[in-house]
Amino acid sequence: MSLVKTVVNYISTREPRIKGFIITLYVVGIIGIAIPFTRGFFVFLTPYILLISLLILIAFHTKHDTKTLLVFLSIFLLSFFIEVAGVNTGIVFGNYSYGKGLGIKLFNTPLIIGLNWVLLVYCTNAVFERTHLAVPLKIAGASLSMVIYDIVMEQVAPFMDMWSFGVGRIPLKNYLVWFTLALLFHTVLKIAGIRISNKFAPLLFYCQFIFLLILALYFRLSE
């Protein structure tokens, strides 16, 4: 924990450089994955990039409290075990399997996948908290943003050895379940009275989305 605290403190004292760092991180990632020779190495780095993203969000989160920690810990655990059920039964999202791109697995499921859910819920909440929409529209907008993100991510996942669907076709229920879970998690945040205010959360979300979109287009044109 002391190491994490040291890293977080280091990051938070260099705020002006973080924006450039985030953009550079994903630009280099696009180039590295697009080049076949370096793709394996950059795919290997994927879980670590997600962890770096988490550290940045922690460093610039405006209100650290036990309630927020417990809610996001619950999202991590629930999403992870839903993914465990999904990949081992094929009932939840459809028939798919995880590759090696997301690192260490437990019950055939990468541990980092729960963190990915946390990051997406956190960042999309931060994006829509900046709007003046009514609460139901904020929840719906943030949830829909996660589904759009997933639609793009599904096009890239097989090329990065993250996961792939057995039939090669992604079933509609995958997106319906994504939307349902996103709706649940964002509703829980509202009920718990948690409002995310983080200056780098929107930037991280946009960078990740553009990263996936460019790679999706690249792989589609390369086929």
The residue assigned the tokens 């960042």 is 123
Q: Model confidence over 186-206: pLDDT tens digits? A: 999 999 999 888 989 999 999
Sign of CA dihedral 73, 25, 151, 165: negative
pLDDT band, residue 159 (cuts 50/70/90): very high
- The pTM assigned to this predicted structure is 0.91
Distance between the two ends of the chain, CA-based, in angstroms? 45
**CA–CA separation, 205 and 98 (whole Å):** 23
The string of DSSP codes covering the chain is: -HHHHHHHHHHHTTHHHHHHHHHHHHHHHHHHHHSHHHHHHHHHHHHHHHHHHHHHHHHT-S---HHHHHHHHHHHHHHHHHHHHHHHHSSSS-SEEE-STT--EETTEETHHHHHHHHHHHHHHHHHHTS---HHHHHHHHHHHHHHHHHHHHHHTTTTTSEEETTSS--HHHHHHHHHHHHHHHHHHHHTT-----TTHHHHHHHHHHHHHHHHHHHHHH-
| Residues 6+ positions from 46 with CB-CB distance below 8 Å | 101, 102, 103, 112, 160, 162
| pLDDT computed for residue 60 by the predictor | 87
**What's the mean pLDDT in 166-186?**
91
Q: Which amino acid is residue 124, in one-letter code?
A: T
| pLDDT computed for residue 14 by the predictor | 67
Q: What count of other Cβ atoms lies within 10 Å of the Cβ of residue 77?
A: 11
pLDDT band, residue 11 (cuts 50/70/90): low
**What's the mean pLDDT in 114-120?**
96
